[in-house]
Structure 1
């Protein structure tokens, strides 16, 4: 079971394609400067026109807001260079464009153009176009724009939600390998499964988030189900709260928030990079990143990313092997924009860590006493995903755009595992081996239209979207004779022999479809933005198993939504939102007595208000929220049941930027009051919800040493409060802290750009229970921390 598998055929093909591209397409002769591009900017206020153009061009524009107040623009349509386009928008305004650095501009009155004493204003406008991640905030760790589903990409100051978008730059500098590493930056998000486990899972605002609910360029279910590698990623958007209006129904019902991953695209400048990777105790590998643009006016783009890393981890008899290959193609036409992404990812884990469940009345073990991997050496996890997405936009006119996207994924998963449920205070648990196979097929599509127009002094951005998500999966497996082991002193048992009981195979088909309409109204020179919308949703589920009655659901609901943004100034935005959603019901896990039971769909609601303050180089978001959703629990007979509601309300603070030259800050805090309500006979009413800490806090700092050019030191602290493991609040995991340190050094070596990185996670090698999350009533809840881990990498640009 532990032999090293060979590279998968599709990975080999994509890797060869990338290497041929690097060898066959020379780096010379490619334009370094941005070419003329096609732009469609509708007529309207000058401020809105400049914002949109700056966003689509991927540049920043600094100005005095009084210069553009009350002014209008005729818009533009056609192909322009950046300065040429700005000048067309400014024609007749009495304002002129002034370069203010690479990729940066400011506006002056014509009379001030030649005045050397004129001081450039500090207010910056960055637009909301489809620039693909080029519009980064000061410090480079966070992007100004993020994807809001059918509403398109928006600047965070014009978004009626709490959203943070992490850039490729910060992911690479932190040596993020999977999505779990990326979300460690956010105080509202926590990882709820061991890093060396079978799969990754998260908690946002105290509610579970599954990988299948992570969107890929706005499409659910396309990315791998159990783990997502970060080498393919341009940007990670984390949106807090339900997003039913924005992207439709999340396949697994995540309501605390959502994650969208934007794929990499070829940039105007050629890219050829190789990164050597190492993680303790012996995981070596490499990552290649190649990008080129070619053809007339560089309209065609190609970006390839391939990674492979394998070796032993810090845990006993555990080995992780991961590989991924993703090829991205895009076309930038005069009125047409197309992209295609195809990829393959495989992840193999020997002796994957398991969550630790506790029988009733058993005290929570001291994590410091767990010194070894308690998973049997013969257990394994094998996951393979092949996926793709095709997207397109077409400008019908200056004020109408239509768009569409289709995506698909095929997943094959094979596990041999055992649950860990500690039966007494001495750490004894029963090893019940189970083989589990799952096959998934996903097909998803969205079509929509967007229009910009005005009715008097009110601007409108009208969106219409139709979504459909189809998933079919088949589960099968077998069970084997039990054995006995111990959490503190694990026993190596013989590998399973002949199965004692085959599992009943199940076949489930789910269809999630919806129609949404939304209008964003702009008032008072775009200082007030009001979004009104609704989504008509339908959930169809048909689950069958031999000898059992089919479980069929067909539910419909209309979910309204409201979002309001008031730009009181260029620095301060106030916002409010109300969202409702219909979510597919939970499926009882394989560990439950009523395994594979499908529950009816349910509704969730959120109300949120907040403020965003942008100092130009440093920004803060403060929000208060409340989310209500039905909850589940596991009864004494080990049946998963729907029972009551969970109400999570809290306060969030997010910080990012470069408050001092060479000093970057990334972090924040969340205070959470998660309460159980309306439980059966009121037996748990008022108790804290499972796996919901009162306080989460993050603080990451980077410092560019002025005495050594190119050297950067980094540090990060993560705090998570205590959490309950059971609904009765009798079993509690203590609060914990983790500290990370790192350094990187950028230099020129042989005329090539080289960046060396080294970091250590959990530098104090502290053992703790990272999460007591019990996702929707399953039995295994405690997640053990990862031991001290060293990460080293070196990137060379050719």
Structure 2
């Protein structure tokens, strides 16, 4: 779905944190007769005491007007708030009383704040009508919550962009500021801050994979500006991201079916856009052992009213990691173009990424007869020095929106990706307590070709006292991919190695057999309709929706069509309700249902890459969100049901085995509770049960594999008051124990990781300089941080990364 969206008229407001971001009124001629009444009409407001910037933002939101503020004007100022009945200008006047500032109109229903001393240049506040507005994307979705690590608004696909207090979903949107300050190189680095998300593949491995609420999420299910399948398949560089939305729970209604059928949640990467303020930054980076690189970020707007924008981000980094004979080389180049005027918004993104990894780590598989290895004794890279992972991805997207009138908008987007992946790897299957395994090399290639299209219309209207926002969208997704490769075999007794004391084996050049050529076509299509009804002046919002989805998969092996092809469809209903009990407290509940593509059997199963039929997932959730102005707390309880799959430990057959039910509780916190002190984190509890399992319910009541009962994260930042520009940072992560198998016979211990760091911002002449330093895993603890994918389609132990030093210096010109 497009990331630049119109919003419900009564819910739209913004206080921008750039100095020249303006909001434009549409349709002035048709509403002029109503202007005087709208501006002078009184209504009841409730704005709690907080910082002046937060108070102004809240009042603008309640009034339905747009406000642009230079943060330097309101920095350090507080407000006692207001409670009572006021007109718009009276309310602003009360909030600004004694501040030395005054309201200044920019255009109809759009204002800015200016020093009172500038009265000679200000205008009388002319009567205006309060109706729909269009606001540049960086002020709407980029509005940062107090502390700057999280954005207030997020992209929610079919439902458009919404403030977190006005959404019946559980979401967190991490800003580019959070990406920079955590020195996140990839998506896995950033999501480490979220308690609902855990990485399930080694940091030095071939690819990244995650769980959300205990269910697997692959990189191919990460959307790019709302479009699935566009992002690189195996690793996503964070330098391209302006924001990252993490939505918890099934996302089929808002985003449609994902390529790999993720049901625990969704991740959306929002492209960068040029801002009204020119951007010219260079960042030099270092990560131990000897990874050195640089990144550039350049953005400019030009033309009348800065209508045209261009943003370029480029990265080059190469060097050795902390693991033996492991080297990573990554390159990225992404350019974003956009155009905006009163009614039309267009954007285009084109990118290319390459990543070469020597000796990538693999998950450690544990044979049925072997005990769980000791993570603390694994001190060396057990991957062979000749193993490799080469990925090459080229992608692009074009989006557009047009406001036909003040209450009707149409939008559309197209995207594409072409990828080439080449791996030379080997499984690591430990067969005994000594940690022995046999090196069995495999050459694996994968070519992918993705096309996706999305189009929709959004309409606002009233029926009596009830407001409506109706959304109708259609989407189509296609992905063709071809897998191939070869196997190699050492002479009997010559291919042994050990995870504790690895043995370097010579590279084999003559295959023992060639793999089948597997060609697969995925075709997903869908139509979605939703209506968000607003009652009690939009304090009660009810969203009703449904999505029809069709999943068609055909695959061939060496030109022979497989019997696993299928063509299925389903109508999936969803609903959400949100009640704004007060301006600070929102209560919500939702029911989500969707069709997901079937599981794909793992590489270590009897028949690798076999595709299974689609399945249905269901979620019910209820929660509360409390916004104190500078600090927010969100809580949710949920239940998600999904079919369970298992690779039989004896026969290696992969297939369905009952179902799993995840009952959970989440608590998240973010913001700046004290001036100069910021918090970000939370805790998640999951009670995951297996039901209706095979062999007469042999595993009924057991916990699902790779699902810890508890995840907890807490990050803190403190601005040292005695040293201007110096900030100290710390972050902790915890996960409780996990099982490797459905029988719950093998278990890994809980683990904890600590990161510490600092940054120092200062000026050298006219150049802004920020130095950052982080020590990841400061205790250098060796733990199994994951027992693999929660659906057992990719089982295996993931080893924590060793202590790593990350340094960077950013120069802003």
**Structure 2-normalised TM-score?**
0.86
Instruction: Quote the offset at 1:49 in angstroms.
Output: 8.7
Matching residue of 1:499: 511
Task: Judge conservation of contact 2:448–2:481 (CA < 8 Å) in 1.
Answer: yes
Instruction: Quote the offset at 1:589 in angstroms.
Output: 2.4
Matching residue of 1:597: 610
Q: What whole-Å deviation, never above 9, does each CA across 1:267-293 have from its counterpart, x for those lacking one?
A: 001000000000000000000000000
Matching residue of 1:682: 697
- The answer as to 2:741 corresponding to 1:726 is yes
Q: What whole-Å deviation, never above 9, does each CA across 1:214-248 have from its counterpart, x for those lacking one?
A: 11110001010000000011001000000100010
Q: What whole-Å deviation, never above 9, does each CA across 1:530-575 have from its counterpart, x for those lacking one?
A: 1000000100000111275423211010110001110001100000
Matching residue of 2:575: 562
Once residues 259 and 418 of structure 2 are traced to their aligned partners in structure 1, the CA distance between those partners, rounded to angstroms, is 15
Q: 1:38 to 1:390 in 2, by over 3 A?
A: farther
Matching residue of 1:789: 804
Q: How many aligned positions are there?
A: 732
Task: Judge conservation of contact 2:21–2:136 (CA < 8 Å) in 1.
Answer: no
- The answer as to 2:240 corresponding to 1:232 is yes
Once residues 22 and 639 of structure 2 are traced to their aligned partners in structure 1, the CA distance between those partners, rounded to angstroms, is 47
- The answer as to 2:642 corresponding to 1:629 is yes
- The answer as to 2:596 corresponding to 1:583 is yes
Once residues 261 and 568 of structure 1 are traced to their aligned partners in structure 2, the CA distance between those partners, rounded to angstroms, is 32
RMSD value over aligned CA atoms? 2.7
Once residues 58 and 549 of structure 1 are traced to their aligned partners in structure 2, the CA distance between those partners, rounded to angstroms, is 62
Instruction: Quote the offset at 1:684 in angstroms.
Output: 0.6
The equivalent position to 1:418 in structure 2, one of 418, 426, 437, is 426
Q: What whole-Å deviation, never above 9, does each CA across 1:383-427 have from its counterpart, x for those lacking one?
A: 010000000000011110000000000010000000011011111
Task: Judge conservation of contact 2:282–2:810 (CA < 8 Å) in 1.
Answer: yes
- Residue correspondence of structure 1 range 453-532 to structure 2 within 5 A: 453-482=461-490, 483-532=495-544
Instruction: Quote the offset at 1:134 in angstroms.
Output: 3.0
Q: 1:701 to 1:779 in 2, by over 3 A?
A: closer
Matching residue of 1:120: none
Once residues 157 and 225 of structure 2 are traced to their aligned partners in structure 1, the CA distance between those partners, rounded to angstroms, is 8
Q: What whole-Å deviation, never above 9, does each CA across 1:109-142 have from its counterpart, x for those lacking one?
A: x9xxxxxxxxxxxxxxx99977364310000000
Once residues 166 and 674 of structure 2 are traced to their aligned partners in structure 1, the CA distance between those partners, rounded to angstroms, is 25
Q: What whole-Å deviation, never above 9, does each CA across 1:156-194 have from its counterpart, x for those lacking one?
A: 000111100000001101110000011011001000000
Matching residue of 1:429: 437
Instruction: Quote the offset at 1:774 in angstroms.
Output: 3.2
Q: 1:426 to 1:100 in 2, by over 3 A?
A: farther
Instruction: Quote the offset at 1:587 in angstroms.
Output: 1.5
Secondary structure of 1:131's partner? helix
Instruction: Quote the offset at 1:37 in angstroms.
Output: 4.6
Q: Which runs of 5+ in 2 are unaligned?
A: 1-17, 32-37, 46-58, 90-101, 117-124, 126-133
**Deviates further, 397-406 or 776-785:** 776-785
- The answer as to 2:159 corresponding to 1:159 is no
The equivalent position to 1:192 in structure 2, one of 174, 195, 200, is 200
Matching residue of 2:96: none
- The answer as to 2:664 corresponding to 1:644 is no
Instruction: Quote the offset at 1:151 in angstroms.
Output: 0.8
Q: 1:437 to 1:40 in 2, by over 3 A?
A: farther
Matching residue of 1:33: 20
Task: Judge conservation of contact 1:419–1:780 (CA < 8 Å) in 2.
Answer: no
Secondary structure of 2:275's partner? coil
- The answer as to 2:628 corresponding to 1:615 is yes
Secondary structure of 1:396's partner? strand
Matching residue of 2:120: none
- The answer as to 2:747 corresponding to 1:735 is no
Task: Judge conservation of contact 2:22–2:136 (CA < 8 Å) in 1.
Answer: no
Once residues 410 and 651 of structure 2 are traced to their aligned partners in structure 1, the CA distance between those partners, rounded to angstroms, is 53
Instruction: Quote the offset at 1:643 in angstroms.
Output: 1.5
Secondary structure of 2:238's partner? coil
Matching residue of 1:119: none
Once residues 271 and 314 of structure 1 are traced to their aligned partners in structure 2, the CA distance between those partners, rounded to angstroms, is 34
Matching residue of 2:681: 667
Once residues 438 and 465 of structure 1 are traced to their aligned partners in structure 2, the CA distance between those partners, rounded to angstroms, is 32
The equivalent position to 2:186 in structure 1, one of 151, 171, 178, is 178
Once residues 251 and 69 of structure 1 are traced to their aligned partners in structure 2, the CA distance between those partners, rounded to angstroms, is 50
The equivalent position to 1:287 in structure 2, one of 295, 315, 318, is 295
Q: 1:522 to 1:501 in 2, by over 3 A?
A: same
Q: What whole-Å deviation, never above 9, does each CA across 1:317-361 have from its counterpart, x for those lacking one?
A: 000111100000000112100000000001110000000010113
Task: Judge conservation of contact 2:548–2:569 (CA < 8 Å) in 1.
Answer: yes
Secondary structure of 1:221's partner? coil
Q: 1:203 to 1:768 in 2, by over 3 A?
A: same
Secondary structure of 1:143's partner? coil
- Residue correspondence of structure 1 range 1-400 to structure 2 within 5 A: 33-34=20-21, 37=24, 39=26, 50=61, 64=82, 66-67=84-85, 88-89=108-109, 131=139, 133-400=141-408
Secondary structure of 1:265's partner? coil
Task: Judge conservation of contact 2:21–2:139 (CA < 8 Å) in 1.
Answer: no
Instruction: Quote the offset at 1:85 in angstroms.
Output: 6.4
Instruction: Quote the offset at 1:52 in angstroms.
Output: 9.5
Instruction: Quote the offset at 1:83 in angstroms.
Output: 7.0
Q: What whole-Å deviation, never above 9, does each CA across 1:86-117 have from its counterpart, x for those lacking one?
A: 87349xxxxx986699xxxxxxxx9xxxxxxx
Task: Judge conservation of contact 2:195–2:713 (CA < 8 Å) in 1.
Answer: yes
Q: Which runs of 5+ in 1 are unaligned?
A: 1-30, 72-81, 91-95, 102-109, 111-125
Once residues 205 and 707 of structure 1 are traced to their aligned partners in structure 2, the CA distance between those partners, rounded to angstroms, is 41
Q: 1:405 to 1:411 in 2, by over 3 A?
A: same
Task: Judge conservation of contact 2:104–2:113 (CA < 8 Å) in 1.
Answer: no
Instruction: Quote the offset at 1:595 in angstroms.
Output: 1.6
Matching residue of 1:28: none
Q: 1:51 to 1:346 in 2, by over 3 A?
A: farther
Instruction: Quote the offset at 1:529 in angstroms.
Output: 0.7
Secondary structure of 2:381's partner? coil
Q: 1:665 to 1:439 in 2, by over 3 A?
A: same
Once residues 54 and 646 of structure 1 are traced to their aligned partners in structure 2, the CA distance between those partners, rounded to angstroms, is 47
- The answer as to 2:550 corresponding to 1:538 is yes
**Deviates further, 686-695 or 771-780:** 771-780
Q: 1:659 to 1:128 in 2, by over 3 A?
A: farther
Task: Judge conservation of contact 1:384–1:411 (CA < 8 Å) in 2.
Answer: yes
The equivalent position to 1:697 in structure 2, one of 708, 712, 721, is 712
Once residues 138 and 570 of structure 1 are traced to their aligned partners in structure 2, the CA distance between those partners, rounded to angstroms, is 17
Q: What whole-Å deviation, never above 9, does each CA across 1:453-474 have from its counterpart, x for those lacking one?
A: 1001000010000011100000
Once residues 244 and 136 of structure 2 are traced to their aligned partners in structure 1, the CA distance between those partners, rounded to angstroms, is 16
Q: 1:393 to 1:57 in 2, by over 3 A?
A: farther
Q: 1:327 to 1:154 in 2, by over 3 A?
A: same
Once residues 306 and 542 of structure 1 are traced to their aligned partners in structure 2, the CA distance between those partners, rounded to angstroms, is 38
Matching residue of 2:565: 552
Secondary structure of 1:781's partner? strand
Secondary structure of 1:180's partner? helix
Task: Judge conservation of contact 2:69–2:112 (CA < 8 Å) in 1.
Answer: no
Matching residue of 1:18: none
Once residues 244 and 793 of structure 1 are traced to their aligned partners in structure 2, the CA distance between those partners, rounded to angstroms, is 39
